[in-house]
Structure 1
Amino acid sequence: MAVPRKSKARERFQDGDGKKPNARQPEPDSEVQPKPEFVIFDHEISPGQARNLERATGAQVLDRTGVIVEIFHRHAHSREAKVQVEIARLKYVSPRLREAPGSGRQQGPGSGESDLELDRRKIRDRLAELKEQLDDIQRDGDQRRSARRDQLRVALVGYTNAGKSSLMRALTGSEVLVADKLFATLDTTVRALQPEMNPRVLVSDTVGFIKKLPHDLVASFRSTLAEALEASLLLFVVDASDPAYESQLEVSRSVLREIGAETVPSRLLFNKIDRVSEADRAALHAKHADAILLSAMSPADVASLRETIIAFFEAAMVEDQLVLPYAKQGLLSDVYEHTCVLSEDYDATGRIMRVRGLPDAITRLRRTLAVP
């Protein structure tokens, strides 16, 4: 009877008795080690390589992209994040499908297709459906961002698990998820800086970055990353206690360059400074003299950061005068939302208001308040 031919990968992994070559044979009473369920690679491998490795090891094989996609899948909560992740997941799975043993051709609708061809067609149809849904969601998001275009906007960006959500909670008092794990935040959260000021400042907590982030995920989350592109100020949050902080910072900057956000004004924040020794603090300060060293757990540090944010926007503001006609008094809240009202007076034309705000916001208000 012919012996089934083993793959080259299995031949390299095992000898003819199903044991690793040159491996020391266990003693009769020694405990047999269980076989691994997963084999994980910290880089991308081709579908063919994955199949060969699965045949050789008898375990499920995942590469770096597969692990990241699976983490994203588990942490997606909003409709937008779920759609984005499913698109990336299907693109990852499709080329890795394979024909099941004994499968044949379909009968009836789709007759002539193999099971594999049918599965791939279903994936293509599902991807088309998901992309339509994502386009609708992104249009709604574009409208929301357009409505905030004249507001002061800060975006927290940085490597995953750098403490962005902790800082978001401290700055805004919001109950955003804070967890010591990768990609705890996939949905962009927008909240007002607390205590509120006029005009108010909006803070966005964005999805964390990671080195070699799969391109399909970057593309899927482009609308989420648009919060960074459209912000007035980017705060690069870095985990000061991580020895690899420099490479993580470069990853964050490269992703933002990819979406065209490298020209947005930014400040560098070294978070978790309470976990850093005095000597390492001094080294950080010497190397990054303009950076802000803080801990999101320190109320004093957070208060100081808030003042820094306000000072950044104050420097760009100008004083001007607006006239609110009596026939348009319903727009008063719009003026208070986008400017700081310094004084008010009245004459025959309406309410005379001395305001301080960003030039673009004042220009837009003047057009809105003008009498036809």
Structure 2
Amino acid sequence: MQKETQEKPKRAVVAAVQLPSVTDMEFEASLTELRELAKTLGFEVVHTFTQKRSSFDFTAYLGTGKREEIRQFVSNEFGSAGWQETGQTAPLDADGIDVILVDHEISPSQARNLEKEIACAVMDRTMVILEIFHRNARSPAARAQVEIARLGYMAPRLREMARLAGPQGRQRSGVGGRGAGESHTELDRRKIRDRIAELQLEIVAMDAERQIQRARRLERRGIACVALVGYTNAGKSTLMRALTGSEVLVANKLFATLDTTVRTLHPESVPRVLVSDTVGFIKNLPHGLVASFKSTLDEALDAALLLHVIDASDPGFERQLEVTDEVLNEIGAQDIPRIRIFNKIDHVGDAAAQTECEVALKTKYPACMVMSARRPDEVAKLHQAIVAFFQKDLIEDELFLPWSAQQLRGEIYTSCKVLEERADGEGAFFRVRGEPNVVKSLREQFEQVR
């Protein structure tokens, strides 16, 4: 019986206010994204309520009439026949709606009033995103960053929670509830501040360890770095798997993974290239998460080349492109060379529509690549472009390896491309193409063993 309860699908309604400054396209794109976020959490969105207002209602976000309409829908007052007359879809049962998802971050009092009036749980956009991050964070650093953001979100809401708890929540911790002791709310806030400070120290320590690991990785001979950046669900993980041949998680969900994944470009090239997949961007990312998750984009700062992945089938891709550029500028990655990749061209329509879209994109963004990560020939072209980028500064030279040091032969083939090999009585000569510092290091190493 318990198993059936757990497997029962959770059902939600979405509610949003459109302000005069928001265009219809932007509004609909935000709603679509919230529905996708809800899907990631396992909710089935059965209806969307929208309202145009000059400003949000101060007490409960939505206007009085719209709140009443949602209350009637959630409580199923009219029954199925009554809702059919209004042209709307009724809930399956009176208790069928589990939560109302609000497409903005609302204040604690607005959430409390909305919840009390409609008699249904309320989650604002920030809470939805935080819950997804909480579920999907895997590494210690990501989990710590998520916890900081969740605690920062909860702190100002403790007062409203105390109000709901009644006098018990406001009782002071002095003897018998008297004296200058802390209230339960003040005590909880202090615990939150202490925990945030503790987590921040942990993150500093983890950041230092990650910097050491990165330095060691970058010091390895013949390794170059590429970072995938862009909005979540733009196909970065699919492209990552296609470029590296790895079993990276690919799911049609927002924020399927939060942790940076690093793999080697396949087939391997000279120089050897590491490809990293960074956390995806999202519209209206909560401020607390912007600060917390910029550190996950540090991988982009280590890269010599950025692959900016954009969903060509998304009508709002231009705004997404601008936001990505802005954030990259904020973290100091504005001068790193990048290739704009318009992915998912196969989702645009038929062959004629795809061709028309590709021509339009290449006209507006001449240096871009238009492709689908599911088409091997187009992935191969991107692979060639990446390798060509890193080979443009390579030099050709000749190295001599005496017969007594042939155990070092593998290092030549690992870190350079061997163009020609010949031998005489003293050893082998290799005509190679490689990075200047790598070739110089190999030459010095071989001279020491002569």
> Which residue does the alignment assign to 1:101?
166
> Which residue does the alignment assign to 1:176?
248
**Corresponding residue SS for 1:221:** helix
Please say if residues 159 and 251 of structure 1, whose CA atoms lie closer than 8 Å, have aligned partners that are also in contact: no
CA separation in 1, counterparts of 2:201 and 2:414? 35
Please say if residues 60 and 109 of structure 2, whose CA atoms lie closer than 8 Å, have aligned partners that are also in contact: no
**Corresponding residue SS for 1:179:** coil
CA separation in 2, counterparts of 1:81 and 1:127? 14
Among candidates 270, 274, 284, match of residue 212 of structure 1: 284
Among candidates 211, 219, 242, match of residue 142 of structure 1: 211
Alignment partner of 1:117 is 2:217: no
TM-score, normalised by the number of residues in structure 1: 0.82
Deviation per CA, 1:303-337: give whole Å up to 9, x if none: 11111111111112223567889999988766655
Task: Give, in angstroms, the shift of residue 75 of structure 1.
Answer: 1.5
CA separation in 1, counterparts of 2:428 and 2:242? 38
Mapping 1:271-282, distance limit 5 Å: 271-276=343-348, 277=353, 278-282=355-359
TM-score, normalised by the number of residues in structure 2: 0.69
CA separation in 2, counterparts of 1:221 and 1:9? 30
Alignment partner of 1:248 is 2:320: yes
* RMSD of aligned residue pairs (Cα, Å): 3.8
> Which residue does the alignment assign to 2:16?
none
Please say if residues 13 and 56 of structure 1, whose CA atoms lie closer than 8 Å, have aligned partners that are also in contact: no
Among candidates 317, 327, 330, match of residue 394 of structure 2: 317
Deviation per CA, 1:35-55: give whole Å up to 9, x if none: 754333323333343333334
Alignment partner of 1:269 is 2:338: no
Moved more, 320-329 or 149-158: 320-329
> Which residue does the alignment assign to 1:284?
361
Deviation per CA, 1:3-51: give whole Å up to 9, x if none: xxxx96599748xxx9679x99959x95896475433332333334333
Please say if residues 228 and 276 of structure 2, whose CA atoms lie closer than 8 Å, have aligned partners that are also in contact: yes
**Corresponding residue SS for 2:218:** coil
Rate the CA distance shift 1:8–1:158 in 2: closer, same or farther, 3 A.
Answer: closer
Deviation per CA, 1:243-268: give whole Å up to 9, x if none: 11111111211111111111100011
| Percent identity (aligned) | 52
**Corresponding residue SS for 2:103:** coil
Among candidates 40, 51, 55, match of residue 112 of structure 2: 51
Mapping 1:59-138, distance limit 5 Å: 59-98=120-159, 99=162, 100-103=165-168, 104-106=171-173, 112-138=181-207
Please say if residues 270 and 391 of structure 2, whose CA atoms lie closer than 8 Å, have aligned partners that are also in contact: no
What residue ranges of structure 1 are gaps of 5+ in the alignment?
1-6
CA separation in 1, counterparts of 2:288 and 2:446? 45
**Corresponding residue SS for 1:148:** helix
Larger helix percent: 2
Deviation per CA, 1:281-314: give whole Å up to 9, x if none: 3322322222111111111111111111111111
**Corresponding residue SS for 1:155:** strand
Rate the CA distance shift 1:111–1:236 in 2: closer, same or farther, 3 A.
Answer: same
CA separation in 1, counterparts of 2:237 and 2:264? 14
Please say if residues 198 and 336 of structure 1, whose CA atoms lie closer than 8 Å, have aligned partners that are also in contact: no
CA separation in 1, counterparts of 2:174 and 2:407? 66
CA separation in 2, counterparts of 1:214 and 1:327? 62
Task: Give, in angstroms, the shift of residue 241 of structure 1.
Answer: 1.0
Partner AA of 2:139 in structure 1: S
Rate the CA distance shift 1:41–1:30 in 2: closer, same or farther, 3 A.
Answer: closer
Partner AA of 1:177 in structure 2: L
CA separation in 1, counterparts of 2:264 and 2:293? 23
What residue ranges of structure 2 are gaps of 5+ in the alignment?
1-57, 84-89
Q: How many residues align?
A: 359
Mapping 1:180-199, distance limit 5 Å: 180-199=252-271
Among candidates 410, 414, 433, match of residue 356 of structure 1: 433
Partner AA of 2:228 in structure 1: L
Moved more, 225-234 or 73-82: 73-82
CA separation in 2, counterparts of 1:287 and 1:309? 22
Moved more, 69-78 or 278-287: 278-287
